[in-house]
Structure 1
Amino acid sequence: MGGGRLPIINGRRVIQALMRTGFVVDRIVGSHHVLVYPGDPARTVTVPVHAGRDLKPGTLRAIIRQTGLTVDEFSELL
């Protein structure tokens, strides 16, 4: 995975960035949005969306890893 620096962002911005790559919101369970990539059910990502709170670096890194993107590729989507 790329060694780029992680941006400090909230869950809503993560969802917007992932939707640009083709992910779609499948369902919302409480404050967690479950996104899937059409045609590849193995690429399922859960993003916590808590108002006014940024994602912790470990959580964001795990989300990026699950999407199959690098940190640099993800940062370009923002």
Structure 2
Amino acid sequence: MPKIPPVDSRRLIKILENFGFRVVRQKGSHVIMMNEEKTRIVIPVHPGRKVKPGLVRAIMREAGISREEFFKILKKK
């Protein structure tokens, strides 16, 4: 399995939307997303900067997304 790459925050939001998360609100440079089970995910949004692999991995864990599912959606977009 390849390494998790840095991902643009807007792209990460689109990936999470594919898994049933929706943007609930934004406070400053952080977008808060939630799914039907009320799982809350916070995505930092900084123009021109990507979300680092460690944080992407932590977000995937919180969202319950496997590496295989993540890479499958990442390749589509």
TM-score by length of 1: 0.85
Q: Say if 1:4 and 1:72, in contact at 8 Å, map to a contact too.
A: no
RMSD in angstroms over aligned alpha carbons?
Answer: 1.3
Task: Report the CA distance between 1:22 and its aligned residue.
Answer: 1.1
Overall identity of the aligned pairs, in %: 38
Give the 5 Å matches for 1:53-72: 53-72=49-68
After superposition, where does 1:1-78 map in structure 2 within 5 Å?
A: 4-38=2-36, 40-41=37-38, 43-78=39-74
Structure 2-normalised TM-score? 0.86
SS in 2 for 1:26: strand
Gaps of 5+ in 1: none
Larger helix proportion of the pair: 2
Residue identity matched to 2:28: G
- Matched residue count: 74
User: Relative contact order (alpha carbons < 8 A, sep ≥ 6): 1 or 2 greater?
Assistant: 1
Gapped regions of structure 2 (runs ≥ 5):
none
Q: Is the 8 A contact 1:9 1:54 kept in 2?
A: yes
> Which SS does the other structure have where 1:12 is aligned?
helix
Post-superposition offset of 1:4: 4.6
